[in-house]
Amino acid sequence: MVTPMFRFDPVELPPEALALRQEVRAFIAEHQDVMGFFRSSFNRDFSKAMARRGWIGMTWPKQYGGHERSAFERYVVIEEMLVAGAPLSAHYTGDRQSGPNILRFGTEEQKRFFLPRIAAGELTFCIGMSEPNSGSDLAGTRTRAVKVDGGYRINGSKLWTSNAHRADYAILFCKMASDGQQEVDRHAGATQFLLDLKTPGIEIRPVINLLGEHHFNEIFLTDVFVPDSLLLGKEGNGWNQVTSELAFERSAPDRFLVLFQMLREMVRMAGPDPDKATAAALGKLISQLATLRSMSLSIAGMLQDGLQPNNESAVVKDLGTRYEQDIPVVARQLFPTEPELEAVETYVSMIARSTMNAPRFSIQGGTREILRGIIARGLGLR
């Protein structure tokens, strides 16, 4: 065989992860009042409560406020929280990608400042990648940093930034100004900053999504000064760093578990003895989910072994978003209803919410086309 095959070795959860699952379920039962379906809720008290249990920054070193637990234990906490619809927004980006990237590329001072605060549920991060003219083509960023005395002066804008209006910091991706020289290497000069969103010169405007909700924003940066101490990693190493950040983002199981509650409602509506067509349609989705979960666990195993499963993560995200987009499609075939966002009946509002959210699954965190391009590169085609 000459083609590189993506490896998903079977993983069995260790006993400590199984014990932890029971703790997490008990915790969720105690906080049932704040659980919901797909509302990306921002709840700092809940994040702090999770932090007190040691469930944020779980795999980070203890010296930075982490808990040095395994990737499997972290996996169990996240999957249980996602399935329960826990309000994770206040810490999730920091826990999933900003913290790990600071741990990998940050200075000692940065690690000591940021990581314990993220792990305590006190500091909220948001992403700072997309721009009005730079979406999938991240290297086309137009936001520019210029070196000035003691720091950098940054101009530009960011778009589709979830939670920017509530976050404390962003990891800003931009480029060093190139003095009008012709760009040879598109990744040259790329740089990341830890951007305090209260810095003068930053304006954050809401972008209302098609559900009428305010989750994402546009950020305008006008002569924003960032001190040297908040440069993340190295000037010019930003492409490597942002690729790492995206790998952390894509390796999480949140790409196929957000609609679990809807699948569960469909099983409820099917009743204990469904007809063959209903059982087949649900069985197909459940078989896909069981397979995705085993693949995702296997990614946790690779992370635990210190590997960087970028191709495998792209595969799981591509398959996972397809599966989640199919859920409302199958739902309307099995149990048709007119969707109503504010319906009292759980299923009716779920079908509204999932139908309206579905398009974004295969866009956020890398479009389907970009992911398939990554997979194709992994196959040696590019």
Run of H or E including 173: strand 169-176
CA atoms of 251 and 306, how far apart (whole Å): 13
Q: Does 329 bind another protein (CB under 8 A)?
A: no
Q: Contacting another protein (CB under 8 A), which of 295, 303, 331, 352? A: 295
Q: Does 264 bind another protein (CB under 8 A)?
A: yes
3-class SS letters over 89-151: CCCHHHHHHHHHHHHHHCCHHHHHHHHHHHHCCCCCEEEECCECCECCCHHHCCCEEEEECCE
- Nearest of 57, 61, 30 to residue 120 by alpha carbon: 57
Q: Does 267 bind another protein (CB under 8 A)?
A: yes
Q: Contacting another protein (CB under 8 A), which of 11, 123, 224, 327? A: 11
Instruction: State which residue, 144 or 317, has the beta carbon closest to another protein.
Output: 317
Q: Does 381 bind another protein (CB under 8 A)?
A: yes
Q: Does 379 bind another protein (CB under 8 A)?
A: yes
Q: Does 86 bind another protein (CB under 8 A)?
A: no
H-assigned helices in the chain: 15-30, 44-52, 71-84, 92-93, 99-105, 108-119, 238-250, 260-270, 276-304, 310-334, 346-361, 368-378
Rounded least distance, CB 377 to another protein, Å: 9
Q: Does 210 bind another protein (CB under 8 A)?
A: no
Token duo for residue 224: 């924003």
CA atoms of 225 and 55, how far apart (whole Å): 34
Q: Does 13 bind another protein (CB under 8 A)?
A: yes
Contact 115, 60 (CB under 8 A): yes
Q: Does 282 bind another protein (CB under 8 A)?
A: yes
Q: Contacting another protein (CB under 8 A), which of 29, 146, 290, 341? A: 290
**Part of the chain binding another protein (CB under 8 A), chosen from 29-37, 151-159, 232-240, 297-305:** 297-305
Query: What pairs with residue 146 in β-bridges?
Result: 153
CA distances from 117 to 52, 65, 91, 114, 362 (A): 12, 8, 10, 5, 32
Token duo for residue 314: 């792209």
Q: Does 351 bind another protein (CB under 8 A)?
A: no
Rounded least distance, CB 34 to another protein, Å: 18
Name every residue whose Cβ is closer than 8 Å to that of residue 347 and which is 6 or more positions away in sequence: 262, 265, 266, 269, 331, 335, 337
Q: Contacting another protein (CB under 8 A), which of 211, 270, 343, 358? A: 270
Token duo for residue 234: 């190295």
Q: Contacting another protein (CB under 8 A), which of 241, 298, 310, 362? A: 298
Name every residue whose Cβ is closer than 8 Å to that of residue 360 and which is 6 or more positions away in sequence: none
Q: Does 306 bind another protein (CB under 8 A)?
A: no
Token duo for residue 36: 């919901």
**Part of the chain binding another protein (CB under 8 A), chosen from 131-139, 232-240, 269-277, 355-363:** 269-277
Q: Does 136 bind another protein (CB under 8 A)?
A: no
Instruction: State which residue, 205 or 264, has the beta carbon closest to another protein.
Output: 264
Q: Contacting another protein (CB under 8 A), which of 200, 212, 271, 336? A: 271
Q: Does 24 bind another protein (CB under 8 A)?
A: no
In the DSSP assignment, the letter for residue 225 is E
CA 188 to chain centre: 26
Q: Does 375 bind another protein (CB under 8 A)?
A: yes
**Binding positions for another protein, rule: CB under 8 A:** 1-3, 5-6, 8-13, 18, 21, 79, 83, 260, 263-265, 267-268, 270-274, 276, 278-284, 286-295, 298, 301, 305, 312, 315, 318-319, 369, 371-373, 375-376, 378-382
